[in-house]
Structure 1
């Protein structure tokens, strides 16, 4: 039997994605055995992130600064904007290092079953960004799910009045797949083969 503190740590880790009770116990055991090399740096990193964590007021990314590192980077192409459902999708596309522009995080996808409506997403702030001008292309990088495609169609209708090139990721993505779980090669192909919407 472990102490209540160790059990609490195990329970906290077990609630993370990709962890179950067994993998959480193994992780805790590793942290306890390697206290100086693993536990102390993890504690410091968690405390630093907790103190500085913020949501970017421009794009909705999660970072330790506002604006985030992507929005603040002058080397990024401000004329190209990639719209994603969630921060995990943004990070997945960033790992590919193939999109030179900026991002906009919706914070979810339209879903009648889950009660997610357009007002629940960052669609109005997307419209305002595009309305300010300076954006030539908007890439709709929605997940290849029914809800993702519904969201893409809704956005395409809302954006048709703007003089922009509207594209979406190629459908080489597996149906039902989520960007965060795809390898860089699949993401690279989808970005290279993006096509106009409609």
Structure 2
């Protein structure tokens, strides 16, 4: 029986070719368990150990996520925005490295809040239908946050994350007057 257990442990500990340091490996069985095979109540199970610390993939993912988000603080509440990949977002991200940008936004058309950025960004307009939570660049100089759908030629900057329709409308004070919004990278 101990020979079979030793063979099984040896087979489990041999990994496939190309095993990286971040993959699990089995720890060696204790010598007491293999030297005393007649003790039925002592069972030694292989344990998993992780070599190294956090994986480079996890670090890269966290860095990419940080580079792909910005924060909108709306009337004191901070909400993450997942950003698109385009030259408009790159220019906005570059502008925000100088510090946060605050603007006043007002209702328009019963579907959006819009406000002037105070600077121009390059556009990447395509015909789209917006959805609640979309953050749009309009005519290169205005920020729009949608709480209803609209179809037009826009530059999508990103999307507010983690809000229901009701939460979004409440946060934006939809139909209820102006709001103050601050854009930042942290």
After TM superposition, the score normalised by the length of structure 2 is 0.23
Structure with higher Rg: it is 2
Q: Which has the higher helix share?
A: 1
Greater RCO structure (CA 8 Å; 6+ sep): 2
After TM superposition, the score normalised by the length of structure 1 is 0.22
Q: Which has the higher strand share?
A: 2
